[in-house]
Amino acid sequence: MTDGAGFVGRVEEAQRLRNALRQGSVLVVVRGEPGTGVSRLVDEVLGAAECAGWTHLRGACPDVMDPAPLRPVIDALAGLPYRPLGAAARPA
């Protein structure tokens, strides 16, 4: 968990991310140029006590020129157990 020491200049962005996360089960895309502190921003917000009991699924875009718009979502969901659609309705 982080205490925010040394984290300055991103108050507005952090508040926007907190507000989005407080909406419930959401998918939030945070993007920015490499090296601009995007990962640190997410780490700081998710490291707060308010987020301690939440489930966080996180993906990252590779540093390549080819567009892969859903790659972070696929990476974040990769660790979840797979259950095909309609699996709950089928007998075991």
C-alpha to C-alpha distance for 92 and 86, rounded to whole angstroms: 12
* pLDDT tens-place string over residues 20-41: 999 988 888 888 888 888 889 9
Q: What share of the chain is helix, strand, coil (3-state, %, to 5)?
A: 35, 0, 65
* pLDDT tens-place string over residues 40-72: 999 999 999 998 888 888 877 666 666 667 777
C-alpha to C-alpha distance for 26 and 17, rounded to whole angstroms: 11
